[in-house]
């Protein structure tokens, strides 16, 4: 699978050359060609998510519901979750660990955005986390708990934010460099959870179809 054409800033350029690319995710296929302008309507063609449709007050609940659904999948079928039924796609477990890490990272990005004026962020190195084996010891039942905790932590903090805080802007590299509001960080977090929940369901269905 080709590299995403919208890498996070500096992500690919600084990747160690020895990293395996065997489990590249389709993660967030919201390329510049798939969405409207940053200030217009942003829509994920793959999962149908529309950023502007999520009200600030709905962010925590949507994230919590998605995380619970992810946890339910992992708890119901922990063994298939570790399999890679499709080439060049993460396992359901790896998607869930990614969501956990995204939520923890986004929570910190919100904090930085509240303190600094228009900060930029380091990439999270999503592929490297898998390629370097950093999820190797993650177990489905552990990650099920952790993704719910991460969602709870994000939602609790996000729920504290005032309207002026939600309107503060940050520099964001995804899907292309742009000024984003902290409110958008909340919407983006919802998208990450819901999009990858769909990915997990696809991996589980593919595993069911080819259980070998």
Q: What is the largest CA-CA distance in the chain?
A: 53
Dist. CA 46–CA 34, nearest whole Å: 9
Show the binding pattern over residues 169-198: x = contacts Zn ion (CB under 5 A), - = does not: --------------------------x---
CB of 6 to Zn ion, least distance (A): 13
CB nearer to Zn ion: give 168 or 195: 195
46 vs 77, which CB is nearer to Zn ion?
46
Q: What H or E segment, with its residue span, contains residue 100?
A: helix 92-115
Residues paired with residue 170 on neighbouring β-strands, in sequence order = 180
Q: Please, what is the minimum distance in Å from the beta carbon of residue 43 to Zn ion?
A: 9
Q: How far is the CB of 171 from Zn ion (least distance, A)?
A: 22
Print the binding letters for residues 39-58 with Zn ion: x by CB under 5 A, - otherwise: -----x-xx-x---------
Which residue bears the tokens 């592929």? Answer: 127
Dist. CA 78–CA 192, nearest whole Å:
21
Other CB atoms closer than 10 Å to residue 123's CB: what's the count? Answer: 19
Stretch that binds Zn ion, among 18-26, 36-44, 65-73, 117-125 (CB under 5 A): 36-44
Are 88 and 1 in contact by the 8 Å Cβ rule? The answer is: yes
Cβ at position 19, least distance to Zn ion in Å: 25
- Residue 83 makes contact with Zn ion by CB under 5 A: no
C-alpha angle 2-5-8 in degrees, rounded to nearest 5: 115
User: Which residue minimizes CB distance to Zn ion?
Assistant: 44
Chain residues in the site for Zn ion (CB under 5 A): 44, 46-47, 49, 195
């Amino acid at each position: 699978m080709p590299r995403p054409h919208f890498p996070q800033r500096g992500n690919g350029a600084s990747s160690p050359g020895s990293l395996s690319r065997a489990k590249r995710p389709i993660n967030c296929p919201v390329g510049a060609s798939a969405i409207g302008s940053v200030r217009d309507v942003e829509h994920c063609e793959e999962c149908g998510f529309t950023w502007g449709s999520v009200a600030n007050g709905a962010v925590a609940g949507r994230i919590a519901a998605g995380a619970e659904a992810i946890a339910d999948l992992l708890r119901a079928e922990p063994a298939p979750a570790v399999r890679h039924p499709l080439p060049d796609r993460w396992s359901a477990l790896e998607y869930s660990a990614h969501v956990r890490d995204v939520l923890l990272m986004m929570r910190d990005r919100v904090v930085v955005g509240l303190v600094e004026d228009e900060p930029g962020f380091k990439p999270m190195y999503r592929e490297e986390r898998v390629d370097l084996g950093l999820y190797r010891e993650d177990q489905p039942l552990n990650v099920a708990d952790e993704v719910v905790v991460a969602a709870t932590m994000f939602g609790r903090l996000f729920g504290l934010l005032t309207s002026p805080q939600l309107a503060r802007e940050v520099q964001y590299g995804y899907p292309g460099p742009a000024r984003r509001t902290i409110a958008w960080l909340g919407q983006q977090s919802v998208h990450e959870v819901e999009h990858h929940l769909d990915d997990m369901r696809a991996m589980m269905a593919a595993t069911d179809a080819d259980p070998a």
